[in-house]
Amino acid sequence: MMKAFEWAIVALVLAGGVAWADDGTLSRVGGTPVTVADAVRAAAKGGYAIRDGESAERALAEAEDFVLLAEEARREGIFDEDDIVQTVRAMAVQRLLARRVGEVRGEDPDEAAMQAWYEAHPEEFTRPAVGRGRVLEVSKDAADWESRRDAAATWLEEKGGAGFAEAVQKWSTDASARAVGGVTGWLAEGRAERRYPAEVTEALFGTGGMGSVEGPLETDRAVYWVQRLEVRSAQTTPFEAARAGVARRMVQEAQRDAYRQFVDGLRGDAEIGRADGAAERLLEEAGGEGRPPAGPGPASR
């Protein structure tokens, strides 16, 4: 059944003496048909609804204008420009994957399957222990690093944890750490940190009590002391709370598998010939270009 706005367009066209086409064509621009769907898209793009004869006329005219502009763009060769071609190809690929992969769900996983998946992926539902402390760093790039190291060691031996913040302000070579008394952000146990070497995070999660000091810890680039301030234990989300997430992850995993199977099938049927050293040339000519990854994900193979 036609909606009210569709009847309005029909009435408008018939009033002009043009026959209504069975395929939904309202008018033709050259050989290109303009349909009800085209007019509705034009109205949506213009931000208005088709409610009366005036708005129907506007939508139809804008849809016809769009065809005229598209044909002019084609005549000027814009459709063949690289960025347009790539945009169209990307949209087509997205639609292809939505049809062939996006609908892959299979049957809803049963309780036993979800429980097995949950137990096989503990890292997905476990938050590591986190801690924060104070760090005193003496970089070996400093000309006086040895005297700083010795002075800090003597000070901390005499005053212990009570004098740690003051020691940071006196002898740390890290200006930002001096400003906050060496206090770190929250660090995760077992995870690499850009700012601190593994020796520092290991000391933070050591066996000493709160306020205890570990060090000196020497690496190739610096000497460190670490004071523990607070440590929070690792936490695991129980299965009952994780059930919805497990089902979602299982669907995502099935879609990744379907994607890989689909693309591998296409590769198997295709002829792909790479130039010798293609990857090396790409690295040489375009190394660092593109977009850095947002984080770990399924894109890696």
pLDDT in tens, 59-98: 999 999 999 999 999 999 999 999 999 999 999 998 998 8
pLDDT score of 199: 92
Residue 210 — very low, low, confident or very high, per pLDDT cuts 50/70/90? confident
The tally of domains found in the chain comes to: 2
User: What are the CA-CA distances from residue 277 to residues 157, 274, 280, 281 (Å)?
Assistant: 59, 8, 5, 6
**Does residue 157 lie within any of the structural domains?**
yes
Task: Give the Cα separation of 49 and 288 in Å (integer).
Answer: 47
Q: Are 205 and 136 within one domain?
A: yes
Residue 281 — very low, low, confident or very high, per pLDDT cuts 50/70/90? confident
Residue 27 pairs with which residues in a beta bridge? Answer: 34
**Does residue 103 lie within any of the structural domains?**
no
pLDDT score of 2: 45
Q: Are 56 and 144 within one domain?
A: no
Among 205, 235, 265, which residue terminates a domain? 235
Please give the residue range of the domain that contains residue 63. Answer: 4-78
The alpha carbon torsion through 174, 180, 183, 188 (nearest 10 deg) reads -80
- pLDDT tops 80 at residue 24: no
- pLDDT tops 70 at residue 300: no
Bond preceding residue 128 cis, omega within 30 of 0: no
Q: Are 40 and 137 within one domain?
A: no
CATH number reported for the structural domain that contains residue 168 in this entry: 3.10.50.40
pLDDT score of 292: 62
Q: pLDDT per residue over 29-68, tens digit each?
A: 988 999 999 999 999 999 999 999 999 999 999 999 999 9
Residue 106 — very low, low, confident or very high, per pLDDT cuts 50/70/90? low
Q: Higher pLDDT residue, 292 or 199?
A: 199
The whole-number average pLDDT for the span 16-27 is: 63
Q: What value, to the nearest 5°, has the Cα angle with vertex 163 and ends 162 and 165?
A: 105
Residue 225 — very low, low, confident or very high, per pLDDT cuts 50/70/90? very high
pLDDT score of 18: 47
pLDDT score of 9: 47
pLDDT score of 220: 94
Q: Are 135 and 217 within one domain?
A: yes
Rounded to an integer, what is the distance from CA 123 to the centroid of its chain? Answer: 19
Residue 296 — very low, low, confident or very high, per pLDDT cuts 50/70/90? very low
**Does residue 19 lie within any of the structural domains?**
yes
**Does residue 288 lie within any of the structural domains?**
no
Among 235, 251, 282, which residue terminates a domain? 235
**Does residue 173 lie within any of the structural domains?**
yes
